[in-house]
A and B are shown apart, each in its own frame.
Chain A
C-alpha cells in the first residue's frame, strides 16, 4: 500500500493539516463559553449554538440559502443537461464556443460578475428579489453541473440510443428511459456541487441582496463586520456539518471518486 517516500508522506500530512486547521479552529471556537473568539476554548459549552435560536434572522437567512440553493441548482441542471448532451453528442459548428460560453462564469472574477448582475437586475427591476438571486446563482453554478454531466455524456455509447430507437422508442422516451438514467450520477453529483457552491456564495450575492433576501453567508459577513462574538463560529460549524452529511450521502449513493474524478468502481 505504502508506495510514497517519507518526504511525500510528510508533505501530504502537512497539506491535510493546512486544509483542516481552519475548520478545526472554527469548530473549537464554536464551543467556547466565553463572549469572544477564543482558541483553544477554555471550556465546552453549547451557549453559542443556543444563541443561534435567539437570532431568528440567522435562521431566516439559512432558510433563504437553502431554498435558493435548491431552486438555483435545479434551474441550472435543467439548463446544463440539454447543453451537455448537445455539446457532447452534437456535431454542429460552434460547439466549443457554446461550451466556453457555459463555462465562462468560472473565468470572470466574481466581483465583476456581482457588479454586472447588480446593474443588470436593476434594469429589470429584479434587484434584491428571490427571482434575481436564483437567476444569478444559476448562472454561476451552471459550469459545475455542465462539467460533471459532460463527463458522463462523453462516455455514452450512441448505439444504445439506436437500439432503443429500433425497439420503438421516441426521442423523448430515449432521453427519459435510457440517456437520463445513464448520466444520472453525473447530474446528481453536479447538482450537489452546485448546491454547495450556491449555499456559500458571498461575493456576487452581497451585491444583489436586500434585507428581505439576505442569504446565510451575507448575514454572517455583515454580522462579523459589526461584532466579534462566536455566533458566526457556531453557524459555520453547523454549515460544515451539513455539508459533510450531504457529501457522505452522495458518496454512499454514487461514489464521490466516480463523480468528481470520472472513473472508479463501476
Chain B
C-alpha cells in the first residue's frame, strides 16, 4: 500500500491552476523527486503536503490518514528548506533539539538523540557552533539533522542543494542519499535540477504547468520519455517532426526527412509525430548508411567528449561523441548522421514545439 497518496490535488490562485489535478503515490522508505521548471507547481505541492497551503481540491493521505484537517505543526513532517531556515541565535545542538523540546522529550533522551542525529550528518564535533560560523554545506547538514531528529514519517526537501556550489552539490547528493537510507525515511524532494533528480531518486515525477507529465524510475524517465517536454527537460534531446505511416505490434514505419525508417512500436495513431533522439546516440557514418546529412556548425571539446552542432534539413542537431583519441570532424565538414531505430522515441506532436 502506498505510504503517501495525493488524489486530485489542485491549487488555484485566481484564474490559474498552480497545481492541476495531481495524483501520485510514494512508497514507504523510497526517495521520490518532484521535478520541473520553476512555476510548474512542485513547490506548491510540497507546501500543501507540509500544511503551509490548503489545497483548493483534492486529498493528501499519509499512512492512510487524511492530512487535510491536521495543521502543519501536528503533521510531524521533517522539512529541509531551500534557505535552510536555521535558528541563527541558537547553537547547532539547540537547533537540532528544538523539535524534541516541542515534543517534551526529556533532557537525557534529547541529548542522546541530538548527538545521534549530528553523528548521522557527521557534525558531532560542531554541536556548540553557531550557524553563522558555518559553511553552506554544514548548514545544510544541520537543517537535515534538525528535520530527521524528530523521526518524521516523511521527509520533505525543498531544493535542498540549490544554494551549494557545484562540487559540494555532487558530494551532498551522495551524502543525502546515504543519510536517507540510513535513517530509512520516506523522502519527497522538490528540485528543478534534472541531474539531481536522476542521481538521487528511486522515482521521478516530472511536472509541467501544474500537471504530472510522467512518473517513472530515473532510467525510464530518461530512456523512455512519454512527452516532448519530458524528453527535452531531462538531458539533451534532438526533437524533430516526422510522419508516422503505420504501426504494428512490433514496429512502426516512419518517414523522416523524406527517408523511410523503421522505429519501435508506439501507441499512437498515424499522422505527424515528434521524434526525439539523444545526442549521444547519434553516430557519424558513411554516406551510404546516413539517415540525414549535415554540416558541422560548431564543435566544442569537453575532454571526455566532443559536442557538435550539425545543421541538417531536419534542423540543428546536437551530437555528442565520446573522445576516442582520434581527430574529429572539423567545423564546415559534411557529416552523415545515423542512429539505431530503438534509440528513437516517438512522441505525440507538441503543439508548441520549438
Q: CB within 8 Å of B: which residues of A? A: 157, 159-160, 162-170, 173, 177-178, 181-182, 266
Contacts and interface: CB of A to CB of B under 8 A. Distances in A.
A178 B77 contact: no
Given A168-B74, A266-B132, A162 B52 contact: yes
Contacts of B50: 162, 166
B89 A182 contact: yes
B216 to A, nearest CB: 29
Given A159-B83, A168-B102, 9 more contacts: A157-B83, A162-B85, A163-B81, A165-B72, A165-B73, A166-B147, A168-B76, A169-B98, A177-B87
Interface string B50-85: 111000000000000000000011111111011101
A91 B286 CA distance: 67
Interface residues of B, number: 28
Contacts of A167: 73, 98-99, 102, 146, 150
B72 A160 contact: no
27 contacts: A157-B85, A159-B81, A160-B85, A160-B87, A162-B52, A162-B72, A162-B79, A162-B81, A163-B86, A163-B87, A163-B143, A164-B98, A165-B72, A166-B51, A166-B73, A166-B75, A166-B79, A166-B147, A167-B73, A167-B98, A167-B99, A167-B146, A168-B99, A168-B150, A169-B73, A170-B73, A182-B89
B281 interface: no
A166 B77 contact: yes
The 6 A-B residue pairs whose C-beta atoms are closest, nearest first, are A168-B102, A167-B99, A163-B85, A159-B85, A181-B89, A160-B85
A160 B99 contact: no
A165 B76 CA distance: 10
Interface in B147-196: 147, 150
A48 B74 CA distance: 67
Interface of B: 50-52, 72-79, 81-83, 85-89, 98-99, 102-103, 132, 143, 146-147, 150
Contacts of A169: 73, 98, 102
Nearest to A169: B102
Nearest to B76: A168
B266 to A, nearest CB: 45
B52 to A, nearest CB: 6
A163 B79 contact: yes
Contact of A182 (B51, B83, B88, B99): B88
A167 B90 CA distance: 15
A173 B89 contact: no
Nearest to A161: B85
A168 B85 contact: no
A162 B86 CA distance: 11
Contact of B73 (A159, A168, A177, A178): A168
A181 B77 CA distance: 25
Contacts of A177: 87, 98
Residue in A163, A164, A165, A181 whose Cβ sees the most chain B Cβ within 10 Å: A163
Nearest to A170: B73
A173 B99 CA distance: 12
A177 B85 CA distance: 14
A173 B146 CA distance: 17
Contacts of A181: 89
A266 B81 CA distance: 22
B172 to A, nearest CB: 19
A164 B83 contact: no
A162 B51 CA distance: 10
Contacts of B83: 157, 159
Contacts of A164: 87, 98
Contacts of A162: 50, 52, 72, 79, 81, 85
A182 B81 CA distance: 19
Contacts of A266: 132
Contacts of A166: 50-51, 72-73, 75, 77-79, 147
A18 to B, nearest CB: 40
B163 to A, nearest CB: 12
A266 B146 CA distance: 24
A162 to B, nearest CB: 6
Residue in B72, B73, B74, B102 whose Cβ sees the most chain A Cβ within 10 Å: B73
Given A159-B81, A163-B81, A168 B103 contact: yes
A168 B147 CA distance: 11
Nearest to B50: A166
A244 B353 CA distance: 71
Contacts of B51: 166
Contacts of B87: 160, 163-164, 177-178
A173 to B, nearest CB: 7
B83 to A, nearest CB: 6
Contacts of A165: 52, 72-73
Contacts of A160: 85-87
Contacts of A173: 102
Contacts of B99: 167-168
Nearest to B99: A167
A168 B100 CA distance: 9
A169 B71 CA distance: 11
A116 B147 CA distance: 55
A25 B73 CA distance: 61
A168 B146 CA distance: 12
A182 B76 CA distance: 25
A164 B73 CA distance: 8
A174 to B, nearest CB: 9
Nearest to B74: A168
